[in-house]
Copies of this chain bind each other. A is one copy, B any other.
């Protein structure tokens, strides 16, 4: 599996931990039924239409239980799957197939849920320059998987975490005593490789942010009308991002006013899953 996510040294730790969550001692049902090594085969099937995301992670779960597990793939991350489609065939230790099933599907379903949801929203923006962004509103200890799924679905990633991007929010501005003061502190203290983003809630705040040459302006919870005025004021002098109260229904309208980005927490916190299952298990031999 050659997805970029497989190159992160973080994922093995998280997958192993998820397996331990589901198998704190042993899989008592499987171990009662299959007492020794037997070779089995099973199909991964899409139970609803979906954008596939996380097939490499799905496979890696099984490889922790059986390093010799083989997966033949019929599709790859980003592919559009039809309900009933066979996505992959796994061959390996029968017990690993049975014990790894739920954890592997829990990753795949959630990642495909996010990719599919993102894909639907992104289509609303087609034809415009505006792009859809994720946020840090991810599930704890799942961010690397969820941000990857957003990209698979056609969205773009905002900063990964508090350590790798500057975003001055309302509470920072309160703490600093003003937009200008906040930007000043940040410019002095943070690495030049980072663009400085400021969240503004009014045209007054916007004016201050422009005076201080913020690189990115987040227009927070504004009406479409107010955003139009703001974008005119900004006039290309900063990258623009719109945030707050974003619904799918509003995307088309928002795509016409010249925004660079629309960010939306729902991509990762409210997408729901897409259903997959392991079917047609066969025992091949012992």
Q: Which residues of A contact B (CB under 8 A)?
A: 2, 4-5, 7-10, 13-38, 40, 42, 64-65, 93-99, 101-103, 105-107, 109-110, 113, 136-145, 147, 156-172, 174-176, 182, 185-186, 188-195, 197, 216, 239, 260-261, 266, 269-270, 272-273, 278, 281-283
Write the nearest CB–CB distance from A66 to chain B, whole angstroms.
Answer: 9
Partner of A20, one of B10, B23, B175, B261: B10
Q: Which of B174, B195, B269 contacts A281 (CB 8 A)?
A: B174
Inter-chain CA distance A189–B23, complex, in Å, is 17
| Cα(A16)–Cα(B68), bound, Å | 21
Given A175-B40, A175-B98; A167-B29 close (CB under 8 Å)? yes
Indicate the member of A32, A107, A172 with the most B CB atoms within 10 Å: A32
How many copies of this chain does the complex contain? Answer: 6
A158 to B171, CA, bound (A): 27
Task: Name, among A38, A40, A159, the residue most crowded by chain B CB atoms within 10 Å (CB to CB).
Answer: A159
Quick check: B26 and A24 within 8 Å, CB to CB?
no
Known contacts A141-B18, A175-B94, A192 near B260 by CB under 8 Å: yes
Question: Which B residues touch A26, using CB under 8 A?
Answer: 4-5, 7-8, 144, 162-163
Asked if B9 contacts A20 (CB within 8 A), the reply is: yes
In whole angstroms, what is the CA distance A145 to B76 when docked?
32
A99 near B140: Cβ-Cβ < 8 Å: no
Given contacts A7-B99, A9-B20, A107-B140, 12 further A-B contacts (CB under 8 A): A24-B25, A25-B161, A25-B164, A31-B189, A32-B190, A106-B136, A109-B137, A141-B142, A156-B192, A192-B261, A194-B195, A270-B272
Task: Contacts A110-B139, A156-B191, A174-B281 given; indicate if A166 touches B28 (C-beta within 8 A).
Answer: yes
Which residues of B sit under 8 angstroms from A197, Cβ to Cβ?
193
